[in-house]
Structure 1
């Protein structure tokens, strides 16, 4: 028991405040940095040099640098993030860290480095490609889009199996540690409560925007692969008018220069913490605290509902919220089982400590059972470390929209109330993509990319 206490105290000491406080304030601070266009990156570089949650820091910095139009710096950060995925995630099972690290089991996932999400892997390559397009380096953009497509294929074929393996592993671990009567039916009941409103929308880990953008790029590069990718994008969304029009244009073989407006609308669903208190009678009267904290999806935030390019309105070509929700639906059984495993461990500590004799006898020979301070200590430890990992990248859009018009040398972009946002001159002899991102009304950045 002394060794367990020492190990827990050591884990708490080395875990840092995030294991107890979580990441809500960090996410709020990051949002403010973005909206205030804070383009200082010294703290990010220092954190990466010191090895502090490198993947999480690099992802956030890469997105912020992109918004600051520091494209090369953005790609440098994305390269760091991508290398972390390759070395720390892709080359081993994504969920191999289930049993890694004492603090990961004793505390919560906040004490571990960020593992990231599958959709982030694909979007890293998409954003690197867009950065290269903004820099006029189309050969490099081609490489990144091919990588995004390859990652997508790998996700479809590989990660579903990994999730099933991880789920079975967690079930086995829970059974081996469940010495206080927490039944499979009770685990399933908790899991159902958590997942009842989460539904997969897209198949597996598909990102229709990666396919659409790749199809558009390859079409503009006169690569027949572009037409096939646009068809594949339409198969994911058979009624999508914008994609149908692009396919029609690609099939026609016409060479008249066009303008595409691609619009990133708002902010995608984020994460917040929800604590599920487990009734103590499921365990024992000697357990002071039993609970699990889980991340739940928040509502997405829209910016302008749509934009208008030379009188034509944008329409949705991909729903980022659906992409995120689909992945969340796939991994939620893993999240619930990981947290139940932690709850079992913490409750077992309390139960074991409560069995240590704490009887006190007075001078008359009368004996009483005192409250066990060690069990109470473990109960407090359980309560303060029951925290959900809500780390995510808040700059992902709610959805992607697109519209195409003939290039007549001018691009006037209006918001959903008819107010002019941009009035740009374009080269009538070139195809042009205007890529505009708006996190909230009044805040937007754009790139004009000419082919």
Structure 2
């Protein structure tokens, strides 16, 4: 009797301590995030390295490689280390993919039991993070002129979305059934009934209007654009249509589909450019502690638990147009990663509630048994269990923090060659000169701090160049293969 009780007590205390690393992720990357938001990329990279001092290379987790890939991409000449970091992240995601395929073969009971134990374990990334990893790797390939590799990464994105859809569909009922078997019969607590939880973060129309937490209109439009450039009209049509289905309220998405339908041709000496404007930074995951009534034995105990919360990003600037040369090109926000993060959290909450209820039932039962059967020693042990649970109970705050909050798109056919690109924000005007070549090009723009602008420009791939220059020198040819990553320093308002 006492052996079983003590084992339960040890399990409860141990389980509450397992999440220490996950709970403190926000603190761990605070210096990195602050420097990144201020536009100090080198400082942010140094802070990121310092936060992982002493960690063995084989112990670096998914988030390390996701964040490092993003930081290095914004550094001059950082394309290759960025891609290498994201290849490492892909290896981590592939482990999750194999595990997920295995889960799909399990019975509902086996799957539910596994889900109940998945708290503060290996971080496999949010669903939208997995999809964005493929999207950003595809962009990196385009920056290096590897359009065929971008195509492969886009197909991987499609496969990943299909796996996510299948897995999430099977998990819902399995988790509920498993929780009820463990005595947590009230796992279907509605969010609005959890006193103290800010349910308004889920009521945003941008959140409620999302089909799911992983499909991005920006990603699917990029897919359509790449397939169009590679002269694969049927796949281009599918990509554009998916983007339209995800955001039917954005007219510019329809124009991409119309271009494929009419078999439009890009005039010689001009380039069809897709501009991706990334703004804002992802808000942090935080912890909110909640006290819930939990039925234990013949009575009810008030026990504490914690849930994650994501409050909407404050830096919500969204451009409505950009200036390309002398022309104003309309821009439209097509993907809010901020909203996708909150939708992912909303979808995650039933599982989080089920796991917290099971933990509280086990903890409460252990405390009651100790008090009832252990005398003075049992009362002390019961107090220790309660204090340990209260002190260490905290939500998982891990999240890819260096992603932008919003992604806007603009598209225009412009003269090939160098041209200035600019747009205005509440902080001032950002301006950068970019050089586009070939029939199709991608330009990714991201403001850094209050004055700098990062511009990533794709390089022409095989069969995409409209008119190649005559006999380029070897040094110039090599330079064309490299990423163009530039930042304008101190761009003053009105420049």
Per the normalisation by structure 1, the TM-score is 0.82
Pick the aligned partner of 2:72 from 65, 70, 86: 65
* Residues paired across the two proteins, number: 424
SS of residue matched to 2:446? strand
SS of residue matched to 1:278? strand
Check the 8 A contact 2:189/2:353 in 1, yes or no. Answer: no
Check the 8 A contact 1:289/1:347 in 2, yes or no. Answer: no
Q: Deviations over 1:86-134 (max 9, x none)?
A: 2244344399897569xx96xx934x22132111111111111111111
Deviates more, 1:425-434 or 1:375-384: 425-434
Alignment match, 2:244:
234
Check the 8 A contact 2:280/2:406 in 1, yes or no. Answer: yes
Q: Deviations over 1:370-424 (max 9, x none)?
A: 9922211111111112111111111222221111223124232122369542242
Structure 1 stretches lacking a partner, 5+ long: 360-369
**Could you say if the C-alpha distance between residues 343 and 417 of structure 1 is closer, same or farther in structure 2, counting changes exceeding 3 Å?**
closer
Supply the distance in 1 between the matched residues of 2:341 and 2:41 (Cα, whole angstroms). Answer: 26
SS of residue matched to 1:290? strand
Pick the aligned partner of 1:292 from 291, 297, 305: 305
Matched, 1:316 2:322: no
Q: Deviations over 1:267-308 (max 9, x none)?
A: 23432111101258x558999871110001211243542151
**Could you say if the C-alpha distance between residues 26 and 133 of structure 1 is closer, same or farther in structure 2, counting changes exceeding 3 Å?**
same
Matched, 1:377 2:388: no
Matched, 1:416 2:416: no
Pick the aligned partner of 1:262 from 268, 276, 296: 276
Check the 8 A contact 2:12/2:359 in 1, yes or no. Answer: no
Alignment match, 1:79:
87
Alignment match, 2:147:
138
Alignment match, 1:213:
222
Alignment match, 2:395:
388
Pick the aligned partner of 1:333 from 350, 372, 384: 350
Check the 8 A contact 1:432/1:449 in 2, yes or no. Answer: yes
Pick the aligned partner of 2:413 from 396, 403, 406: 406
Check the 8 A contact 2:128/2:340 in 1, yes or no. Answer: yes
Alignment match, 2:41:
37
**Could you say if the C-alpha distance between residues 429 and 241 of structure 1 is closer, same or farther in structure 2, counting changes exceeding 3 Å?**
same
Structure 2 stretches lacking a partner, 5+ long: 461-495
Supply the distance in 2 between the matched residues of 1:343 and 1:284 (Cα, whole angstroms). Answer: 13
Matched, 1:247 2:257: yes
**Could you say if the C-alpha distance between residues 245 and 48 of structure 1 is closer, same or farther in structure 2, counting changes exceeding 3 Å?**
farther
TM-fit CA distance, 1:435: 0.5
SS of residue matched to 1:392? coil
Supply the distance in 2 between the matched residues of 1:9 and 1:372 (Cα, whole angstroms). Answer: 16
Alignment match, 1:366:
none
Check the 8 A contact 2:243/2:253 in 1, yes or no. Answer: yes
**Could you say if the C-alpha distance between residues 36 and 416 of structure 1 is closer, same or farther in structure 2, counting changes exceeding 3 Å?**
closer
Query: What are the residue-to-residue correspondences of 1:358-377 with 2, within 5 Å?
Result: 358=375, 372-377=379-384
Check the 8 A contact 2:224/2:237 in 1, yes or no. Answer: yes
Supply the distance in 2 between the matched residues of 1:231 and 1:22 (Cα, whole angstroms). Answer: 41
Q: Deviations over 1:124-167 (max 9, x none)?
A: 11111111111222221111111112212332344222333233
Supply the distance in 2 between the matched residues of 1:16 and 1:279 (Cα, whole angstroms). Answer: 23
SS of residue matched to 2:124? coil
Alignment match, 1:365:
none
Alignment match, 2:119:
109
TM-fit CA distance, 1:228: 3.0
Alignment match, 2:493:
none
Q: Deviations over 1:37-82 (max 9, x none)?
A: 1335766596352425x22322222222223352222232222222
- For the aligned residue pairs, the C-alpha RMSD in angstroms reads 3.4
